[in-house]
Amino acid sequence: MIDIKAIAERDRSSVLHPFTQLKKYATGNSGDPTIVTGGQGIRIQDAEGRSYIDAFAGLYCVNIGYGRTEVAEAIARQAYKLAYYHTYAAHTTEELARLSDRLVRMAPGKPSKVFFGLSGSDANETQAKLVWYYNNLRGQPKKKKIISRDRGYHGCSVVSGSMTGMSFYHDHMDLPFPGIVHTGAPHHYWGAEPGETEEAFSRRRAAELEELILREEPDTVGAFIAEPVLGTGGITPPPTDYWREIQAVLRRYDVLLIADEVICGFGRTGADFGSTLYEIEPDLVTVAKGLTSGYVPLSAAIVGEKVYAVMEEAADRVGAFSHGYTYSGHPIAAAAANAVLDIVERERLSDRARTVGSHFQNRLKERFAQLEIVGEVRGVGLLGAIEFVADRQTKRRFDPKLKVGARISKAARDRGLIARAMPHGDILGFAPPLVVSEAEIDEIVELAHGATKQVLDELSKESAL
């Protein structure tokens, strides 16, 4: 038996938790931590013996589900054989070479080489440095600015946190870093003029991007970074024609495209990559999360032929590529990734995300679209979101003080379902493991529906509707 009180006390007095109100937690005013003790399939358990359906796959990462012993065994085998060696000065391992080769074969765009990191944040930090390096090496030293989108999420380190288009990641932390510029979010529901079609809205967003590039001066703009499907900014699939219009602008001004596939990669959208689904041809691709299903930390910055050719060409002149982490290409992480990708391929999880995903999208729409506080139900594959509003006609938002999204998420949790309250309004987000069954989808949707009804009743009793 574990000592719940002792763990809670140790945690409270020593762990600096992300996204936790520090004072309330430290003083015990926001309750005890949830001590997670185990996981199997789509479920996790806590120390008090409660079981939850994790309809967010941790943080959109545990695509193969919890408790896959095959991955644990691959990790153990590699740890017994060789727990660590670095990859500097052309050192490698069998698992790393196998993983890198398979990523080059499967990644979108025209992949050439893979640089390994430990998180989505550091991989995007690498991408920014590659953009600067590439443009320095090809004699375009001014072409350095990076454009990202409002509500885009790319990590929380210095440059990746600046690319993230959410002000609460910048406030009080001296971000954004200079040279990072933001453009409009691809949210048709919130961004479109009355009556504006998705196609017209996409054209307008592309025209705004072009105006921004011209205003900043094209020879100072190096890259555009975006998630194929906007993730943490609200789980929003791109409106029709968005990616075609945006890519035409980028090509016109010789601006590199970084596809941040950290959420979309390895099947989440029902295709191997979001780029495959939306016909995106990126120059640089960032992957993490699904690469190891979160079993160990690993990310990759995949470098396309165009960028790599310039790097190799300049090598005699500039010397060795001076960028690398102690843990770049860690053998245990590589072994875990290979075991995970074996499962992803064998169980055809991209196809599953498409078929079970279409059941999921239908069920969400059937159960939620008619509710009086639901403004929009959206998603693709096994990514979904419900946007709650106080008035469907005028799209008036709820008073943020009511915390409607957080209350629905909490009510769901009390019923044994983890679905995440997302920032930017009242949004309930879903990203279940890709191994979820149709029956489990029905259970998820019913639990979320019950939670929503409960909060709807509470709101009407509080006369908040």
- The phi and psi torsions of 395 (rounded to 5 degrees) equal 60, 30
Q: Is 263 in the site for ligand PMP (CB under 6 A)?
A: yes
Nearest approach, Cβ of residue 293 and ligand PMP (Å): 13
Edge-first strand order for the sheet with 51-54 is 36-40, 43-46, 51-54, 417-418
Residue 120 contacts ligand PMP per CB under 6 A: yes
Distance between CA atoms of 181 and 204, rounded to whole angstroms? 18
How many residues of this chain interact with ligand PMP, rule: CB under 6 A?
15
User: Judged by CB under 6 A, does residue 121 bind ligand PMP?
Assistant: yes
Among 68, 145, 149, 154, interactor with ligand PMP by CB under 6 A: 154
CA 46/CA 52 separation, integer angstroms:
8
Binding residue for ligand PMP, selected from 4, 8, 59, 402, defined by CB under 6 A = 59
Residue 42 in contact with ligand PMP, rule: CB under 6 A: no
- Which residues does residue 111 pair with via DSSP β-bridges, in sequence order? 304
The residue among 120 and 282 lying less far from ligand PMP, judged by its C-beta, is 120
* CA–CA dist 39, 59 (Å, integer): 14
Four-residue CA torsion sign, 35, 38, 43, 48: negative
Window 396 to 455, contacts with ligand PMP (CB under 6 A): none
What does the alpha-carbon distance between residue 160 and residue 166 come to, in Å, rounded to a whole number? 12
CA 3, distance to chain mean position in Å, is 34
Per CB under 6 A, the list member of 262, 436, 445, 451 interacting with ligand PMP is 262
Contact 284, 303 (CB under 8 A): yes
Task: Work out whether 119 is an interface residue with ligand PMP (CB under 6 A).
Answer: yes
As measured in angstroms, the least distance from the Cβ of 340 to ligand PMP is 15
Identify which of residues 155 and 329 has a Cβ nearer to ligand PMP in the complex.
155
By CB under 6 A, tell whether 288 contacts ligand PMP.
Answer: yes
Binding mask 241-260 for ligand PMP (x = CB under 6 A): -------------------x
Site for ligand PMP contains 273 (CB under 6 A)? no
Which of 147, 96, 137, 71 shows the shortest CA–CA distance to 315?
137
**Binding footprint of ligand PMP on the chain (CB under 6 A):** 59, 119-121, 124, 153-155, 227, 231-232, 260, 262-263, 288
